[in-house]
Amino acid sequence: MDVIHTAIWVSDLDNARAFFVDGLGLEENWSFTLDGITNVYVGGENGEIQLRYSDDHDEPNPDRETIDHIAVSVDDVDAETTRMVEETGCEVVDGPLTVEAAGARVSFIEGPDGYVVELVEDKS
C-alpha cells in the first residue's frame, strides 16, 4: 500500500500550475475533466497533488487547523526558498530552519489559495 495523491481545490488553475509546475518544478503528469471539474495531477516520483478546479466550486479557504501543509523535497532549502519568493512572490511562513529530530532543513511558504508548502532538504 502507498499514498498516491492528495487533492486540493484551487480557485485559479493557471495560477496553481504556475506555482506548482513552473515555480516548484513539479511535473504535470496527466489531467482530465469530469462533470465540469478539471483535475490536474502534478508531482514527482513518489506521489502527486491533484489540483481540482471548477467554476461552480466555492473558493478554497484552507487553514492550518484543517490542512497544515504539503511537503516537497528540494536539494537546497535556503536557495529554493529565496528563488520561490523572487520568482512567485510567495510569502515565507517560517524558516528556513533545521529540525534535528527529523534530520532535515525546512521552510514553509504560502502557495496559491493559502495552502502552505513545506520545502524539505534531507540532512540525514
Residue 69 sits in a domain whose CATH number is: 3.10.180.10
Output DSSP code: residue 12: -
- Count CB atoms within 10 A of the CB of residue 80: 22
pLDDT over threshold 90, residue 46: no
How many independent structural domains does the chain possess?
A: 1
Which H helix or E strand runs over 78?
A: helix 77-88
- In which domain, by residue range, is 28 found? 5-122
| Statement: residue 64 has pLDDT above 90 | no
Residue 23: all three cell numbers together:
515555480
- pTM for this entry: 0.93
Is it the case that residue 68 has pLDDT exceeding 90? yes
Angstrom CA distances, 10 to 7, 53, 54, stand at 10, 6, 8
Residues 6+ positions from 64 with CB-CB distance below 8 Å: 116
| Whether pLDDT at 19 is above 90 | yes
